[in-house]
Amino acid sequence: MSMNKTFGSTLIIAGTTIGAGMLALPLASAGLGFTTATLTMFGIWALMVYTALLMLEVHQHADQSATLHTLAKELLGKKGQLVANFAMMFLFYALCSAYIAGGGSQLQDKLANWLGLDVLPQVGTIVFTLLIAAVVSIGTHSVDMVNRVLFTLKVIALIVMLSLLLPHIQGQHLVDMPVEKGLLISALPVVFTSFGFHGSIPSIVRYVGIDMKALRKVMIIGASVPLAIYLLWQIASQGILSQSELIANSSLGNFIAALSQLLHNPMVSNSVSVFADLALATSFLGVSLGLFDFLSDTLKRKNSSTGRIQTALFTFVPPLCFALFYPQGFIMALGYAAIALVILAIFLPVAMVHVQRRQRKDGYQVMGGQPALILAASAGILIITAQFLQMAGVIPAVG
């Protein structure tokens, strides 16, 4: 297994994780204070790394090209497979629809502002989808190469953004206590979804091969890069604006405008805009790659030109149609994203490993045994409960 694939796969995991949702983190954790928000992120990061390693434990005894569709049927039966298929398709189609709508709008703006081309919104949406679809349809290697370029540009935009913000932080803002302890529960779903990458794991296994040492490195480093970036972003945003200012500017647009106005520098909003565009593109690449390979396995499409074109149609046409004709439907569905991700990234890995460990004792096992599995499942129940409580209006919605 080449270091080249390990490096590229690590960037795919990191790029999938660091999406445009990162910008909502300061708003979601505004009432928590920096210390509580940081501890929450470390806890969620540890949970997601643990369940990613559980997925590798399952993959080691399966075929290299196996997806969640195959793994769930082998270990959890037909009912488990149905649950896995529903969670995967619901989450990924909702995400792809949102990315297509957002990316198409951003591309249309760039064509108008940079090239002076006055095109219909639908044109930007279709062109953006075709570009991503072409990269994904060629294969994981092409996703790897394009993602490396986009990720590098994203890091440059991030460095510019942080260099503008970090000199202006005030230490007092970072030691503020939580405004309300109940807000911790409200913030859990947003923080949790900011660390989601598990749908791309089967594609990485297929690309890298069953090399447990390399795959463990990919998962741990790939998830740790976003953690480091999120911490720097939290220091910058929460260090400049007080909790009351963050809570007052509860929308993303108002938040970015408040930062630009406070620093008297339009470069802030420009760098944040470029970063958000690139974050959306890399996330869309990772998510659509995971969906593409999942559908290829589910629909039994051959790995030929015809087969890949057919899979691409199933992957991109449904979310494109929703983005064009009924965007509010799948945008609303994103409210349930945390629930689908809990099923995909926590409940299914825990359940599959529990069954597999009873069937065989050989090979790699993630440390922690049964207590760790119970703790992970309990965390998933807590996150789903928090999401339902927000929807019912029992606790405030954040992010």
| Least confident interval from 6-10, 177-181, 209-213, 393-397 | 177-181
Q: What is the mean pLDDT of the segment spanning 174-188?
A: 77
What is the pTM assigned to this prediction? Answer: 0.90
Per-residue CA distances from 315 to 17, 127, 373 (Å): 20, 16, 33
> Is residue 179 very low, low, confident or very high in pLDDT (cuts 50, 70, 90)?
low
> Is residue 319 very low, low, confident or very high in pLDDT (cuts 50, 70, 90)?
very high
pLDDT value, residue 181: 63
Share above pLDDT 70 across residues of the chain, in percent, rounded to a whole number: 95
Q: What is the mean pLDDT of the segment spanning 55-81?
A: 95
> Is residue 323 very low, low, confident or very high in pLDDT (cuts 50, 70, 90)?
confident
> Is residue 294 very low, low, confident or very high in pLDDT (cuts 50, 70, 90)?
very high
Question: ∠ CA(115), CA(331), CA(88), 5° rounding?
Answer: 110
For every residue of 275-309, DSSP letters joined together read HHHHHHHHHHHHHHHHHHHHHHHHTT--SSHHHHH
Distance CA 56, CA 213 (A): 10
More confident residue, 226 or 4: 226
Distance CA 256, CA 267 (A): 11
Question: ∠ CA(366), CA(56), CA(214), 5° rounding?
Answer: 100
Q: What is the mean pLDDT of the segment spanning 135-155?
A: 94
**How is residue 175 annotated by DSSP?**
T
pLDDT in tens, 152-166: 999 999 999 889 888
Domain ranges of the chain: 3-391
Domain 3-391 has CATH 3.90.1150.10: no
Task: For CA atoms 77, 78, 82, 85, give the dihedral sign.
Answer: positive
